[in-house]
Copies of this chain bind each other. A is one copy, B any other.
Amino acid sequence: MVPTITAFRQSPDRGAGQARDMRVRWALEEVGQPYEVRLVSFSEMKRPAHLALHPFGQIPTYEEGDLVLFESGAIIFHIAQRHAGLLPRQTNQRARAIMWMFAALSAIEPPILERETALLLENSSPWRDERLPLIENHIRKRLAELSDSLGGCEWLEEGFSAGDLMMVGVLRRLNRSGLLSEYPNIAAYVARGEARPAFKRAFAAQLEVFTASQGRN
């Protein structure tokens, strides 16, 4: 059964692949699972039909027969459970890979999102110049710890996993911040993730949505 995911009809980042459908597309490409995409506008996302799938009115959602999921972490975990290729089979190694998914989402992504909020919504606020360095130092602290943990390894554990997919998906939100290059092994780790053929196919697919929307305008 081919699952259907939702994505933005109009890419807020002009095809930079920072919306969370990118991570889900990447996971589906890694396991070789074809998928359908239903594009939703910002107003459609807040209507009852979409809220029935996603109570917070966001993308992505994932529909597969009777199953409806939201939250990219939960969707990617489900894909990784159903198909080989994203989680080790051995119990302890599997638990460690899942651990990195949670770490990406609850330890690394929140300060990165705070930075984006500060830049987007608080850019003209009187506290912006004082607060931004505090947030960036919080991000630096996490990147330094992650850098120590990664060391000279290729991936966070032995072999690429859904934990790396999620971590790279989160870290690449910083691609244009200048922060990643302060930690060369982290920058190289993100580049390794983005060089995977499955990542490139997913990136091209989401970029095509943006390109097509430009053609319509």
Contacts and interface: CB of A to CB of B under 8 A. Distances in A.
A56 interface: yes
A55 B74 CA distance: 24
Contact of A73 (B57, B69, B102): B102
A66 interface: yes
Contacts of A125: 127, 130-131
Contact of A142 (B56, B96, B98): B56
A69 B55 contact: no
A85 B114 CA distance: 36
A64 B114 CA distance: 35
Nearest to A75: B99
A78 B95 contact: yes
Q: Which secondary structure dominates where chain A touches chain B?
A: helix
A119 interface: no
Contacts of A105: 102, 105-106
A214 interface: no
B74 A102 contact: yes
In the assembly, how many copies of this chain are there?
Answer: 2
Contact of A96 (B69, B81, B148): B69
A214 B39 CA distance: 58
Given A127-B130, A127-B131, A146-B55, A92 B67 contact: yes
Interface string A67-86: 10111011001100100000
From A57, A95, A98, A146, name the one whose CB has the most chain B CB atoms within 10 angstroms: A95
A99 B101 CA distance: 13
A73 B127 contact: no
A188 interface: no
Contacts of A56: 103, 107, 142, 145
Contacts of A74: 95, 98-99, 101-103
A51 B69 CA distance: 35
A89 to B, nearest CB: 14
A107 B73 CA distance: 11
